[in-house]
Structure 1
Amino acid sequence: MNDTLTLAEQIDLQIRTGGPISVATYMGLCLTHPSKGYYRAGDPIGGAGDFITAPEISQMFGELIGFWLVNLWQQMGEPKAFTLLELGPGRGTLMADILRVACRAPGFRDALHLNLFETSPNLMAEQKARLEVYDPKWLQNFDNFEDGPVLIVANEFFDALPIRQFVRKETGWHERQVGLVDGKRTFGLSPTPIPPAAMPDPVANAEPDTIFEVNFAAAEILSRLGKTIAKQGGSILAIDYGHARTQTGETLQGVRRHAYAAVLDAPGDTDLSAHVDFDALANVARQAGLAAQPLATQGQFLTRLGIGERAAALSGANPDAAAEIRAAHDRLVGQDQMGSLFKVFCAHSPGLSPAGFAP
């Protein structure tokens, strides 16, 4: 496709020549187009970007995950070699905070093989600047891990993977597509019906015009990683917004400059995401041979790991910053802020007892 065209022009040309495209195809082009995709072209994180993630709010977030990882490593008998992989590492802030505390554990640093999975060249440069001392390697796929356990961290990764949407009609379920009407991008439906029996039981007989979202990309990635973890030992910790049970409803959203934006406007300049179906992820993990912990909210998880005590210690050491530390604490765990919106998912090889989850 002609790269001199804007991404919007390329998408519209693809629709004109090949017909309507799936929501997943549209999301994939918007987010990861090789030269004009959202995650390829700029730096979306922070005050000057479009959104702020938990690691950018406070060092406490990464520090507690660092302690959590050390605890798992110790449960596995302190293996002399293991892989620590972060999916979508952003600016490298989370991993820098994790390793600052985790590497204090004797033997952890020497055993560490740090892997990162990233698609943004700009963010990769920031990750290298922050993490170069740990000799990171950037993965191109999920098939080549070194021997030893694999510990995986994914903060706000799965929500950015392309979803497919289906709408219930009298004739069955129809896939939602992106097409053109009078030259303007709009949603429509595939004429080919999908029988209700093909849908998961909780949504198969939903009311007319109900939308159901499926993230096949997330399932594929977790399945591949889960099989590696089942074989070599380890865990995956995923923190994201989403729902605990498979359900209907549209969650696809666009964000630009810290405000909601129309999904079909400004392709490549708008962050697109959708809520994660943690119930579906847990089923995939179990099929891969892993155990799945009961889903926790971010507030529950961080509180159980001791964020209150950590905030008090930081405030005691930095009394001038006490108000700022308290505000960060409240934003991360508050039920009216990130504490209940974000969920924490953990799947692991049998025999481990990850901290932070209900017994």
Structure 2
Amino acid sequence: MKKINKIFSSKKSMPLDLYLEKVLYDKNIGYYQKKNPFGKKGDYVTAPNISNLFSEMVAIWLVSFWENLKKPRKFNFIELGPGNGDFCLTLLKTLKNFPDTYGSINIMLYEKSNGLKKIQKKRIISKKVKWIKSLKEIDKYPVVFFGNEFLDALPIKQFAKINKIIFERHVALKKNKLKFFFKKAIKKQIDKLKTYNLLKNDGIIEYPEYGFKELNIINTKIKSLNGGALFIDYGYNNMKKNINTLQSIKKHKYNNINENVGEADITALVNFGLYKEYFNSSGLFVEEIISQSKFLQKMGIVERVKIASNKMTYQNKLNLYSRLKRLIDPQMMGEDFKVIFAKNKKCKFSLAFK
């Protein structure tokens, strides 16, 4: 309760996204600031934690994209939200098999959590890697941004359309209890929703204002320096109804969003259709949104598993195929996780997306 009181010490109520920003990222009480949420002992696992083959496939995709960019002498690879560092470690190891790409790459890690940054710095020892506080620090060389489960961790706004009137969800603390309520939305916010035709249907409308602020900088860098952005996340392309997708996870189980504040993760499903519309309207181009399963299989993960398992014991082989299934099976992560690639309009690179 002390944590919740700190959140509301200066305000009686606040919009949902501001509340989420404090609960997740506040330096003193934020969920991501003080603990390692990954692995069996944490709250959840991500694809790089499940198998390094996931990271290998992204690394090979990156090599191909670098070649398509005409092999620039130097280029920046920016990982957004590097987690516990698993992806970066596999990326470095894989790229050593491609010395030209390895020689050209500068790896930048963009991490908001001081706690996770400490974990990353203990694990990742390489002159190729540096941590940046702001994406605005990037000022030269082509850029490739990558985020695995980055977008879903960004705070969202929620609106409700009821009888043609638009309301925004707010959060308040009353009698030591969290109260979620709707308040009539201001015109500025309604105009933003109209831009993306989000008011077509009634129900709960989710709008990633924080995400768009981050992507505005990414867009600018891609357009001025050349490159692209690859995102893989849990979400949907087109949803027939507007619904509330906000969820809380603790110890690999769903958690009541009102409980364990600052001790449990809170995320929302990524509206990939909306992000595609955003990119395409801001001067970049998204060709197609595909499933994680399609992306990994197009990049050759099944063939890689067959080769890797040749000299394995039966038990190790079983373990490897079990991890592969988790990544590509439609009933597991294969279909629920989507992949989006934003690039300059003149770029013809479409590996894995066709």
TM > 0.5 between the two?
A: yes
Q: Given that residues 83 and 114 in structure 1 are in contact (C-alpha distance below 8 angstroms), is that contact kept between their aligned partners in structure 2?
A: yes
Q: Return the letter of the residue paired with 2:334.
A: G
Q: 1:283 and 1:139 mapped to 2: Cα distance?
A: 28
The alignment yields a C-alpha RMSD, in angstroms, of 1.9
Partner residue in 2 for 1:174: 167
**Aligned match of 2:229 in 216, 224, 236?**
236
Give % identity. Answer: 28
> Would the alpha carbon gap of residues 348 and 317 (structure 1) be closer, same or farther in structure 2, given more than 3 Å must change?
farther
Alignment partner, residue 163 of structure 1: 156
2:273 is matched with 279
Aligned to 2:292: 298
Quick check: 1:292–1:347 contact (8 Å CA) kept in 2? yes
1:22 aligns with 2:12: no
Q: 1:32 aligns with which of 25, 28, 48?
A: 25
From the superposition, tell whether residues 135 and 353 of structure 1 become closer, same or farther in structure 2 (CA, over 3 Å): closer
Q: 1:352 to 1:130 in 2, by over 3 A?
A: farther
1:235 and 1:199 mapped to 2: Cα distance? 26
Letter in 1 for 2:293: G
Name the CA distance, whole Å, in 2 between partners of 1:205 and 1:59.
Answer: 42
Structure 2 counterparts to residues 64-79 of structure 1, below 5 A: 64-79=57-72
Does the Cα contact within 8 Å between 1:84 and 1:113 map onto a contact in 2? yes
Look up the match of 2:322. 327
Q: Does 1:351 align with 2:347?
A: yes
1:114 touches 1:134 (CA, 8 Å); kept in 2? no
Aligned counterpart for 1:10 among listed residues 6, 26, 31: 6
Cα distance change on mapping 1:351 and 1:198 into 2, 3 Å: closer
Shift of residue 199, structure 1, vs aligned partner: 3.1
Q: CA shift at 1:192, angstroms? A: 4.8
Alignment of 1:134-145 (within 5 A): 134-145=127-138
Q: How far apart in 2 are the matches of 1:52 and 1:38?
A: 16
Q: TM-score, normalized by length of structure 2?
A: 0.93
Closer, same or farther: CA 133–276 of 1 in aligned 2, 3 Å: same
State the one-letter code of the partner of 2:274. A
Q: 1:153 deviation in Å? A: 0.9
Gaps of 5+ in 2: none
The equivalent position to 1:311 in structure 2, one of 274, 281, 305, is 305
Residues 74 and 104 in structure 2, CA contact (< 8 A), matched pair in contact too: yes
Deviation, structure 1 residue 144: 1.9
User: 1:337 — aligned with what?
Assistant: 332
Name the counterpart of 1:132: 125
Give the deviation of 1:202 after TM superposition: 4.7
Task: Select 2:77's aligned residue among 57, 77, 84.
Answer: 84
Judge which range, 190-199 or 288-297, deviates more.
190-199
Q: What are the superposed Cα offsets for residues 166-200 of structure 1, whole Å, 9 maximum, x if unpaired? A: 11223601101112344311111114565977634
Structure 1 pair 134–318 and aligned structure 2 pair: CA distance change class (3 A): farther
Give the aligned partner of residue 199 of structure 2: 204
Name the structure 1 match of 2:283.
289
Cα deviation, 1:93-132, whole Å, max 9, x if unaligned, reads 0111122112321322221111001122232123223322
Q: Which runs of 5+ in 1 are unaligned?
A: none
Output the CA distance in 1 between the equivalents of 2:150 and 2:100. Answer: 29
Distance 1:287 1:196 in 2: 18
Between the aligned partners of 1:125 and 1:24, the Cα distance in structure 2 is: 26
Aligned-partner Cα distance in 2 for 1:202–1:289: 18
Cα distance in 2 for partners of 1:53, 1:255 equals: 13
Contact 1:68 1:354 in 2 (8 A): no
Deviations 1:113-158 (A, max 9, x none): 1100112223212322332224422111111214211011100001
- Contact 2:151–2:270 (8 Å) recurs in 1: yes
Question: Residues 248-287 of structure 1 correspond to what in structure 2 (within 5 A)?
Answer: 248-287=242-281
Residues in 1 aligned to 2:131 and 2:222: alpha-carbon distance in whole angstroms: 19
Structure 1 CA distance, aligned partners of 2:174 and 2:89? 48
**Pair 1:149–1:317, CA change in 2 (3 A):** farther
Secondary structure in 2 aligned to 1:133? Answer: coil
The letter of the residue matching 1:291 is F
Total equivalences in the alignment: 349
Task: Specify the SS of the correspondent of 2:178.
Answer: strand
Deviations 1:231-280 (A, max 9, x none): 11111110001121376111011001111011122221010100112222
Distance in 1 between the 2:236 and 2:184 partners? 29
Contact 2:236 2:336 (8 Å CA) reproduced = no
Cα distance, 1:99–1:352 mapped onto 2, change above 3 Å: farther
Structure 1 range deviating more: 327-336 or 238-247? 238-247
- Counterpart AA for 1:212: I
* 1:107 corresponds to: 100
Q: Is the CA contact (8 Å cut-off) linking 2:30 and 2:262 kept in structure 1?
A: yes
Task: Quickly say closer, same or farther: Cα 1:148–1:303, change in 2 above 3 A.
Answer: same
Question: What code does the residue aligned with 1:324 have?
Answer: N
For 1:136 and 1:211, locate their aligned partners in 2 and report how far apart those are by CA, in whole Å.
41
1:197–1:88 CA distance, 2 compared to 1 (3 A): closer
Is the 2:105–2:128 Cα contact (8 Å) retained in structure 1?
A: no
User: What amino acid maps onto 2:27 in structure 1?
Assistant: P
TM-score, with structure 1 as normaliser: 0.92
Contact 2:166 2:184 in 1 (8 A): no
